[in-house]
Amino acid sequence: MSKTLSPLDFRRNAAQAVKDEPLREAMRIATDMFMTKRAQGLSMVPIELWRDQASAIRLDVLDHLPEYVDRFSSSATRAGAVMHRARDAEAAREIIFHILRDRGAKKIVKAKSMITEEIHLNEYLEDRGFQVVETDLGEYIVQLAGEKPSHILAPAIHKNRRQVGELFSEKLGVPYSDDPTVLTKIARGVLRKEFLTADAGISGVNFAVANSGSIAIFTNEGNGRMATTLPPLHIAVLSIEKVIPTLKDLSLFSRLLPRSATGQVLSSYLSVITGARKPGESTGTRELHIVLLDNGRSEILAGEYREILKCVRCSACVNICPVYRTIGGHAYGATYSGPMGIVLTALLEGMDKAYPLLDATTLCGACTEVCPVKVPLVKLLAMLREQRVNEGLNPLMERATMATYALATKSPWLFSLGQKISRALWPIMRKFAGKGLLGRLPNPASRTFRERIS
């Protein structure tokens, strides 16, 4: 799918995705695997206790966010990082551009980062002549394909290995193979040269520790560690709610997040970076800049949807969502997909730009049950649906139907008449409805409830 999809086209995008058999097969295999491994990973730990603790930590952070952000900034500055604050995406892009330009950087290696997707950083830098190379294997694949990530942790989840083999063959001029080991080795060979010749590395951040000024990055491929230590300059971008109070809290999240995401006991690599390289140290970047992005978070924090900011981007709610599992992430036409993505997109982009996404949920509650930090996703989704109705953005047919139904339910006589008419007209409506929603509804009962009890 192209990168120009919009949430406003959700219904059309979803209808196309449902017909895409290779996509549905890839989604089925990957999300089944994630959920099976998650269940195994959580079976041996006191998960409800951990969820309570994690939720309490995140709530405490939200209750005192400005103080924690200030504390993190002071600690990171003391540790040798240069701090920047960005009110919105444009400010963040400009800050990063100036840092890179002032140091004469040309080539940038990137570790996977959804926050830089949110601010559309790659396009911005490429338009200004920088070479940006994604180094996470999934991100590298979608970058080669000219696409966007379709999952917050597994960007190329929508592609099967045959498609990746064809892509590598076409773009890199290598012999076709669909063997994942061969494909990984090919990518590693290409990316190794990029790491060694890059002028700067850009990464996201999983958590920022207020007391120590450290940033923590969880990866599985080691690319994050190379992108943040090999180039002389590292720019880390994070949204303000990623702050946690102490390194002890990081210990809980380092066990909880990977288990919730992929069932892993720990991520393969956990980098905790505290400032730039100090005199006498042999590793680490020479210059570390940290960009703290607000981009609407302060507004969300002040409102009734604030608990979405507890989210630690584990993707468990995405993997279990029956809608996401069926259509994949591109159909949402937004940076973030799945249940947390709907809420975030509606809040970050505005209801008028995202309201069709509120149909991308069955409100089954599975997302809320798996969330490791107890984000009340179903409640937030229902509240957003109510807001959509209040703003008059739900479909015209839905509004007309509900208004008619409301009118009828106010009068037993009218309700009974409506039942009789709709039952009489039902065969005709079914005939013309075809395979649409009306055509798929079950036939009305032969006797109404009131007829049965009278």
Residues that bind ligand SF4 (CB under 6 A): 311-317, 340, 370-373, 375, 377
Q: Provide the strand spans (E) within 255-363.
A: 269-273, 287-293
Host H or E run for residue 247: helix 247-262
Nearest approach in angstroms of CB 378 to ligand SF4 is: 11
Residue with tokens 């730039």: 276
CB of 210 to ligand SF4, least distance (A): 20
Task: Judge contact between 346 and 384, C-beta under 8 A.
Answer: yes
In whole angstroms, the minimum distance from the beta carbon of 58 to ligand SF4 comes to 9
Least Cβ distance, residue 373 to ligand SF4 (angstroms): 5
Query: Facing residues of 239 across strands?
Result: 293
Residue 265 structure tokens? 């006991």
* Rounded (5°) CA angle 328-219-162: 45
Contact 360, 346 (CB under 8 A): no
If you ran DSSP here, which 8-state letter would residue 199 be given?
Answer: S
Cβ 241 to ligand SF4 shortest distance, Å:
11
Nearer to ligand SF4, 23 or 317 (CB): 317
Q: How far is the CB of 320 from ligand SF4 (least distance, A)?
A: 8
The Cβ of residue 174 has, within 10 Å, a number of other Cβ atoms equal to 15
Q: Which is nearer to ligand SF4, 168 or 332 (CB)?
A: 332
**Closest among 265, 291, 299 to 90, alpha carbons compared:** 291
Smallest gap from residue 315 Cβ to ligand SF4 (A):
5
d(CA 150, CA 148) in angstroms, rounded, equals 6
Nearest CB to ligand SF4, comparing residues 251 and 422: 251
- Report, in Å, the least distance between residue 420 CB and ligand SF4: 46
Residue 252's SS3 state is helix
Q: Among residues 291 and 312, whose Cβ is nearest to ligand SF4?
A: 312
Closest distance to ligand SF4 from the beta carbon of 118 (Å): 14
- Residue pair 354/305 in contact (Cβ under 8 Å)? The answer is no
Nearer to ligand SF4, 235 or 316 (CB): 316
Convert 34-87 into a string of H (helix), E (strand) and C (coil). HHHHHHHHHCCCCHHHHHHHHHHHHHHHHHCHHHHHHHHHHHHHHCCCEEEEEC
Which CB atom, from 145 or from 312, has the smaller least distance to ligand SF4?
A: 312
| Edge-first strand listing for the sheet containing 233-239 | 82-86, 287-293, 233-239, 200-203, 107-110, 131-134
Q: Give the CA distances from residue 110 to residues 107, 115, 117, 161, 204, in Å, rounded to whole numbers and listed in that order.
A: 10, 12, 11, 23, 9
Of 154, 93, 125, residue with least CA distance to 328: 154
What single-letter amino acid sits at 165? G
CA–CA separation, 1 and 16 (whole Å): 10
| In the complex, minimum distance from the CB of residue 423 to ligand SF4, in angstroms, rounded to a whole number | 43
Q: Shortest distance, CB of residue 337 to ligand SF4, whole angstroms?
A: 10
Pairing between strand 287-293 and 233-239? parallel
Which of 68/336 has CB closer to ligand SF4? 336
